[in-house]
């Protein structure tokens, strides 16, 4: 085995494997080192297992509310935590082995297990991707600034806001908790931030994120044609209902 590489990556979490793949595909010789479980926090104890368990909780909640939807279930709804855990473990394991297999299949990449440490003045790419968001039920998708943060930074703030109880798709699903909110700079027309707390919120936020990433002025998104009936179709509607935000309480009458 070679004992020198173009790049040494420590950790196989969210950051390390895509970097190893990209460098290896660019023809660089790469070594990636993992001291514990392939896939790191996200796959083994973070994003994936928590969302698998939230899905079980969601199934129990929908089953308990079945009568509201005109569906009758005979007998009590019980949660079998052993099965919940087994399902969660199987989902994590599938991802974990997938990460390891992908790394071991890379042409110019050596996979090492054990604790990596520096001995001389060489540099290495130490991966870290500070935790960013936690999914809850109903989901929360958030991007950029809140109206208060935007105002503190000197923006002249416009806000569009709507409770989920006024979103057709949420009403059909019987999941009307939460709200949608979008924050815009009045002068530049730039979208500064958004929050969607409610059914589909973790997916809906991406149409706002994409527009923010492209630095598109908000009318571009306002004029976009979205599929009906969805939660996302309300984003253009919100952008057509923007109101000046003066401070806390200025939009209370809308909710």
Torsion-angle region of residue 241: left (phi > 0), alpha (psi -120 to 50) or beta?
alpha
Minimum Å distance from CB 196 to ligand FAD?
15
Nearer CB in complex with ligand FAD: 139/193: 139
Burial of residue 214 (CB within 10 Å: 0-12, 13-18, 19+) is: exposed
Q: CB of residue 60 vs ligand FAD: minimum separation in angstroms?
A: 20
Looking at beta carbons, which residue is closest to ligand FAD? 13
Q: For residue 73, which phi and psi values (nearest 5 degrees)? A: -115, 130
Nearer to ligand FAD, 50 or 56 (CB): 50
The least CB distance from residue 49 to ligand FAD, in Å, is 8
Q: 74 or 128, CB closer to ligand FAD? A: 128
**70 or 114: CB nearest ligand FAD:** 114
Please give the residue ranges that form the binding site for ligand FAD (CB under 6 A): 10-16, 33-37, 40-42, 45-47, 50, 115-116, 127-129, 131-135
Q: 63 exposed, middle or buried (CB, 10 Å; 0-12, 13-18, 19+)?
A: middle
- What element of type H or E holds 255? none
Q: How far is the CB of 41 from ligand FAD (least distance, A)?
A: 4
Residue 50 CB, shortest distance to ligand FAD, in Å, is 5
Which CB atom, from 54 or from 224, has the smaller least distance to ligand FAD? 54
Strand partners, 243: 159
Burial of residue 106 (number of CB atoms within 10 Å: 0-12, 13-18, 19+): middle
Write down the least CB distance from residue 125 to ligand FAD, Å.
11
Task: Give, as one character, the DSSP assignment of residue 156.
Answer: -
Q: Nearer Cβ to ligand FAD, position 34 or 233?
A: 34
Other Cβ atoms less than 10 A from the Cβ of 171: the count is 14
């Amino acid at each position: 085995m070679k004992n020198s590489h173009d790049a040494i990556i420590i950790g196989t979490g969210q950051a390390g494997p895509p970097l190893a793949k990209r460098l290896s595909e660019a023809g660089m010789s790469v070594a990636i080192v993992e001291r514990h479980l392939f896939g790191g926090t996200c796959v083994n104890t973070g994003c994936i297992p928590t969302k698998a368990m939230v899905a079980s909780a969601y199934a129990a909640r929908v089953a308990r509310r079945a009568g509201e939807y005109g569906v009758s279930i005979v007998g009590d709804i019980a949660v079998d935590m052993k099965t919940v855990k087994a399902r969660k473990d199987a989902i994590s394991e599938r991802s974990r082995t997938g990460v390891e297999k992908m790394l071991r299949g890379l042409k110019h990449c050596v996979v090492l297990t054990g604790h990596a440490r520096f001995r001389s003045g060489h540099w290495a790419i130490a991966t870290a991707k500070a935790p960013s968001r936690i999914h809850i039920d109903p989901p929360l998708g958030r991007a950029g600034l809140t109206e208060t943060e935007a105002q503190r930074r000197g923006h002249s703030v416009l806000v569009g806001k709507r409770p989920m109880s006024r979103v057709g798709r949420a009403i059909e699903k019987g999941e009307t908790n939460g709200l949608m909110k979008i924050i815009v700079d009045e002068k530049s027309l730039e979208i500064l931030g958004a929050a969607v707390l409610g059914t589909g919120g973790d997916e809906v936020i991406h149409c706002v994120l994409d527009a923010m990433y492209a630095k598109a002025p908000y009318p571009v998104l306002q004029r976009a044609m979205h599929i009906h009936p969805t939660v996302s179709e309300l984003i253009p509607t919100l952008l057509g209902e923007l109101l000046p935000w003066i401070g806390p309480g200025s939009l209370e009458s809308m909710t």
